[in-house]
Amino acid sequence: MPLNLPALQVAIYAAFRKQAVKRGPGKIGTEIELATDIALAVDTYVRSGTVITGNVDVNVGTGLGLALLPYWPGIAPVFTATTSVGVGTGLGMVV
């Protein structure tokens, strides 16, 4: 699911409205409450998104060995080379 920008805007607007309607001449603690509400809105926004991950893995290997032959001289060197490529993706949520 993509990030929900309208929900973030509503949450930030609500944080400002909460402080704007407070009564009284001294609004001590308004700044920290506003910062806390905005931080919570941003945290919720980021956690609402879906994370898509991907990777590509390339492996190369070589080998040297001996093989027994049914004819003379009976033993021969064997060289091997392998290559593999893997691709993976994942889907998750921000935690």
Q: Supply the mean pLDDT for the chain.
A: 85
pLDDT digits (tens, 9 = 90+) for 69-89: 888 777 888 888 888 988 888
Which backbone phi and psi does 91 adopt, to 5 degrees? -135, 130
DSSP label at 71?
S
pLDDT at position 1 over 70: no
Least confident of 8-22, 35-49, 60-74: 60-74
For the chain, give every domain's residue range. Answer: 5-50, 53-93
- Over range 58-76, report the average pLDDT: 85
